[in-house]
A and B are shown apart, each in its own frame.
Chain A
């Protein structure tokens, strides 16, 4: 649905205001804390959630894919270069994920694609996308799931 702010955590630093691509995170005139001024226009990009240094912003997901009672919370650690996610399901199941921060400093680390090798016919026919598996931080094969581990009755 939209983002909302935990007032006990927000310290009014303005990072969410700065990063919101829809320009709907603003500073409240009465308490000088962040507030989503147009919840209907929020498309849950999670930019502000990740940018918030106090983890003061949370998102209520749409009930069709995120039933009531669930939680998706995130912790961005700049020094480690990680974004950790904690998904809490309605039945209490908890899943944790850690991803790399892929944002690069502005104007730096621009890939020099013109200098890269041109793809050959083999590359064109491969199912592996450009820069894989290197771009996924692994030089091994892409991760795959053994089909025998799938639930019975599910076919691919």
Chain B
């Protein structure tokens, strides 16, 4: 199952152009939703105005080379490994979900646009990437939603309470899970059920990409930008008006570590 391209089997009943149009429509929905979100929240405008204001309190002019170095380090450290979450379960779940989603989407795009026509054999690496990505997304997203959500872990809300902030993670997990089940049933040749899960897979994707305006989907685009701005501000000395790290303290306190925020 894991090395079978589900879209190639699907191409026997649904023309590959149909799948390609669906995939492009999802991209358009995500792009449109993000643009609407930016217009509505005015967050990008605030972000650049704030960055401009912060520059006024800079103590150092960064050269292009220094800026590139800061951006490169931020990408390698903060963005690709979500370092801001620290060495916690949240970070592991987030990284798992993030890379799972990336693999799932890349696998989907390659298999739909390149290997979905009947008669074209798919290198087994792509279905494996797609399935592994989906499994990682389900595990990472499910772990987060069931055990790590802050409104459950720090606020003691019921694990079954669903709020708008769950739209993104639930749609993402549902899309991956439905895709996996559909692929499994289709490989086994269980007709009827495979069609049901194909429809659920499509619906979950429509909710995921069509709900960008209402969900947390766009944080994937905002967070990297914010991390770069934060590190550039640290490098140019403005540091968002925060104090610089303390220099050689003299026997100061016990420095106790934060406990997990679970004292409700």
Within the complex, what minimum Cβ distance (angstroms) separates A88 from chain B?
6
Is the CB–CB distance between B230 and A31 below 8 Å? no
> Is B55 on the interface with A (CB-CB < 8 A)?
no
How many residues of chain A have a CB within 8 Å of chain B?
48
In the bound complex, CA of A84 to CA of B244 (Å): 8
Is the CB–CB distance between A79 and B154 below 8 Å? no
23 example contacts (A-B, Cβ-Cβ < 8 A) are as follows: A6-B240, A8-B230, A11-B85, A13-B85, A13-B261, A14-B154, A14-B155, A15-B154, A27-B151, A29-B151, A30-B164, A55-B240, A55-B242, A73-B243, A74-B242, A75-B245, A75-B246, A80-B246, A81-B254, A84-B245, A86-B241, A104-B254, A137-B251
Which of B222, B240, B243, B247: most chain A Cβ within 10 A? B243
> Is B63 on the interface with A (CB-CB < 8 A)?
no
In the bound complex, CA of A96 to CA of B165 (Å): 39
> Is A1 on the interface with B (CB-CB < 8 A)?
no
Interface residues of B (CB under 8 A from A): 43, 47, 57, 84-86, 90, 149-151, 153-155, 163-165, 216, 219, 222, 226, 229-230, 240-247, 249-258, 261-264
Is the CB–CB distance between B151 and A32 below 8 Å? yes
Chain A, 66-89, CB within 8 A of any chain B CB = 71, 73-75, 77-82, 84-86, 88
Closest B residue, CB atoms, query A74: B243
Main secondary structure of the interface of A (DSSP, over half): loop
In the bound complex, CA of A17 to CA of B263 (Å): 9
Is the CB–CB distance between B256 and A104 below 8 Å? yes
Closest A residue, CB atoms, query B86: A53
Give the residues in chain A near B84, CB-CB below 8 Å. 11, 54
Given contacts A18-B264, A29-B163, 14 further A-B contacts (CB under 8 A): A17-B261, A18-B154, A30-B164, A31-B219, A32-B165, A73-B241, A74-B243, A80-B246, A82-B249, A86-B241, A98-B243, A99-B252, A101-B253, A102-B253
Which of B253, B258, B261, B263: most chain A Cβ within 10 A? B253
Is the CB–CB distance between B241 and A88 below 8 Å? yes
Is the CB–CB distance between A8 and B249 below 8 Å? no
Is the CB–CB distance between B249 and A80 below 8 Å? yes
Chain A, 90-127, CB within 8 A of any chain B CB = 96, 98-105, 109
Q: Which of A12, A77, A104 contacts B246 (CB 8 A)?
A: A77
Is the CB–CB distance between B253 and A85 below 8 Å? no
Q: Which of B153, B245, B252 contacts A14 (CB 8 A)?
A: B153
> Is A7 on the interface with B (CB-CB < 8 A)?
yes
Closest B residue, CB atoms, query A76: B258
Q: Which of B86, B216, B226 contacts A31 (CB 8 A)?
A: B216
Give the residues in chain B near A55, CB-CB below 8 Å. 240, 242
In the bound complex, CA of A14 to CA of B86 (Å): 14
